[in-house]
Amino acid sequence: MAKARSSVFRSVASHAILLAYTFIALAPVIVIVLNSFKKKLAIFSQPLLPPLPSNYDPVGYVTVFSRGNFPLYFFNSIFVTVGTVFFVLLFGAMAAFALSEYRYRLNTVVGLYLAIGIMIPIRLGTNAILQILVASGLISALPWGPLVALILVYTAAGLPLSIFILSEFMRQVSNDLKNAARIDGMNEYKIFFRIVFPLIRPALATVAVFTLIPVWNDLWFPLILAPSESTKTVTLGAQIFVGQYLIDWNAVLASLSLAILPVLVLYIIFSRQLIRGLTAGAVK
């Protein structure tokens, strides 16, 4: 009886804390989305009112879809983001496996070498990156070359952190399991792809989420490497509404609200892996 009551109390308390934080997290975002449907005057005079018939005005969305090529921008953003996540997860997990699984002379050195990248924003090397990519001909050779260049740069930027996180999680994968597979005659590649990779799915999902967010929201490298109309990303595309003297707030709010959607969908896809990866594990 006492136990039942305390667990009811605990679950009520949990819900109260989580609901309170949900409100803190969500309220500002809701303000943005609501205001994207309102008249310009109403955005500033009554920012808290929901869109009503009196102040409803979808002009922002109309502008977004009439000016600029937003479906293409969306495609470009998704192409770059998904490509980056794929390579960061694959290359990062492979390197993390090499670092956490085997003992060899240069292990620590290689680990530190790959960790340097966590400490430096890749932007510091922008000048040299641009020179290298232009010299390689990647940017000018193909129409979608700049997008591939973006994927490469973001992969280089995302790898150090993903290796750091993944190797921490890989150390927790049971040695018995791997050794059992070795005794059964699996080679190291199969052990990696068939045993370790599925077992660290929650960590992979986490890394995927951390990789995709800065890539999706980045303004810096699209501006430098892929500024032409056919290779613009959404975040860069939204900037056409931010002028030097005049900002089209309706269009900015509408394009920003639209830009939240795809990354939210990607996030939900990856975060589902968090649960599935664990219930399907081999040792559990």
Partner 1 sequence: MAGPRFAAARPFRYPRGHGLTDVPAPPPRKPVRWHIAVFLAPAAIVYTILMIVPLISTLQASTMTGDAEHRAFIGLGNFVTLLTDPRWSASFWNAFRNNVYFFVINMLVQNPIGILLAALLSNPTLRLRGFYRTVIFIPTILSFVIVAFVWKLLLSPLWGVAPMIMKFFHIGQLFQPVLGKEQFALTTLSLISVWQYVGVPMMLCYAALLSIPDEVLEAAECDGITGWSQFWKIQLPLILPTIGIISILTFVGNFNAFDLIYSAQGALGGPNYSTDLLGTFLFRTFFGSTLQLGDPNMGSTVATMMFLIILAGVCLYLFGIQTRLRRYQF
Hey, is 142 helix, strand or coil? coil
CB 84 within 8 A of CB 154: yes
Does residue 155 interact with partner 1 by CB under 8 A?
Answer: yes
Report 113-152 residues binding partner 1 (CB under 8 A). 113-122, 124-129, 132, 152
Q: Which of 174, 227, 230, 280 forms a contact with partner 1 (CB under 8 A)? A: 174
* DSSP annotation string for 45-62: H-TTSPP-TTTB-THHHH
Q: Which of 8, 26, 180, 280 forms a contact with partner 1 (CB under 8 A)? A: 26
Rounded to whole angstroms, the Cα distance separating 119 from 90 reads 22
Report 250-279 residues binding partner 1 (CB under 8 A). 252, 256, 259-260, 263-264, 267-268, 271, 274-275, 278
Least Å distance, CB 275 to partner 1, is 8
User: Contact letters (x/-) for partner 1, 66-105, by CB under 8 A?
Assistant: ---------------------x--xxx-xx-xxx--x-x-
User: Contact letters (x/-) for partner 1, 30-69, by CB under 8 A?
Assistant: -xx-----------xx-xx---------------------
Least Å distance, CB 61 to partner 1, is 16
Tell me which DSSP letter residue 247 carries: B
CB 70 within 8 A of CB 234: yes
Hey, is 154 helix, strand or coil? helix
Least Å distance, CB 231 to partner 1, is 18
Report 204-223 residues binding partner 1 (CB under 8 A). 205-206, 209-210, 213, 216-217, 219
Count CA atoms within 13 Å of residue 259 on its CB side: 26
Report 1-20 residues binding partner 1 (CB under 8 A). 6, 10-11, 14-15, 17-18
Least Å distance, CB 69 to partner 1, is 20
| Number of residues this chain uses to bind partner 1 (CB under 8 A) | 98
Which residues have a Cβ under 8 Å from the Cβ of 181 and sit 6 or more positions away? 190, 191, 194, 195
Residue closer to partner 1 by CB (options 57, 188) is 188
User: Contact letters (x/-) for partner 1, 226-255, by CB under 8 A?
Assistant: ---------x--x-------------x---
Angstrom CA distances, 113 to 77, 108, 120, 195, 231, stand at 30, 8, 12, 27, 33
CB 150 within 8 A of CB 222: yes
Rounded to whole angstroms, the Cα distance separating 15 from 140 reads 54
Stretch that binds partner 1, among 55-63, 65-73, 78-86, 165-173 (CB under 8 A): 165-173
Least Å distance, CB 93 to partner 1, is 9
Closest CA to 35 of 13, 15, 52, 14: 52
